[in-house]
Amino acid sequence: MSESFMEKVTCPYCHIQHEFKKWILIDTGSDPDLYDEVRSGETFKFVCPSCTSTYDMNYPFAYHEPENRLFIMYANNSEDYEKARRILSGEVPSEQEAINEILGRQGYKKRLVYGREEFYEKLLLFDRGLDDGVMEIVKLIYGENLAKTQKEDLFAAVRYEKDDEKEDGVFFLMKEGQRVGKVNIDEKIYDWVISNYFDRIIENISDTFIVNFFWARNVVQGRQQ
């Protein structure tokens, strides 16, 4: 079941205080409307009743999609990231019993993400039935190959997102939070990663909850040794 609380927030535009619902646990099983509202960003949008200005509220929360056995803990700063890491690793229990109960379930994908970009990337991958471990290795391969052809440091990260012009997923080259390029994805590379790294992916992903660039690099380097 979803858990939330009301908090007084000050509108950054008119400076008048109003209450805003903050989510501790978003559960799409008990609140199915939240499935689409999370993806549209509506869940995190504060609309000021006084001046009608909108403001994105960025705060830590847990996301549970029981129908797909998916659980994600979201952090937007290093302190909350470390707190979530300790909860997911079992070092400390969560203050919410519902979260502890979910963490005790078997057969779940459990992930820890930092920032909205990574959160929405995970949702898009899982919505499309793609393996995030495989895709992190694909991103690593694309990023390294592109970096070899660049004379300057034109991008800092590769992000999987839905193309604005079509429904297909593409890789956006990111720098300082901005899109600086776009690369279409060759599905053959995805299949190649599965065939060449499947054993190491299974070995490294079963007990982990942090699946990102650094995880992918460790998997690839481990296979090369």
Query: Average pLDDT over the chain, rounded to whole?
Result: 89
Read off the pTM: 0.88
89-118 average pLDDT score: 95
Would the pLDDT of 188 be above 60? Answer: yes
What pLDDT score does 7 carry? 96
93-97 average pLDDT score: 95
What pLDDT score does 153 carry? 64
Q: Is the dihedral of CA 72, 77, 80, 86 positive or negative?
A: positive
**Residues 224, 75: Cα–Cα separation, whole Å:** 33
**Residues 23, 181: Cα–Cα separation, whole Å:** 34
What pLDDT score does 131 carry? 93
Residue type, 35: Y
Is residue 173 within 8 Å of residue 164, measured between CB atoms?
A: no
| H/E segment holding residue 3 | strand 3-10
| Residues 131-181 pLDDT 10s | 999 999 999 988 888 777 765 566 667 888 877 666 567 777 777 777 777
93-98 average pLDDT score: 95
Would the pLDDT of 224 be above 70? Answer: no
Specify burial of residue 145 (Cβ count, 10 A radius: 0-12, 13-18, 19+): exposed
| Residues 7-21 pLDDT 10s | 999 999 999 999 999
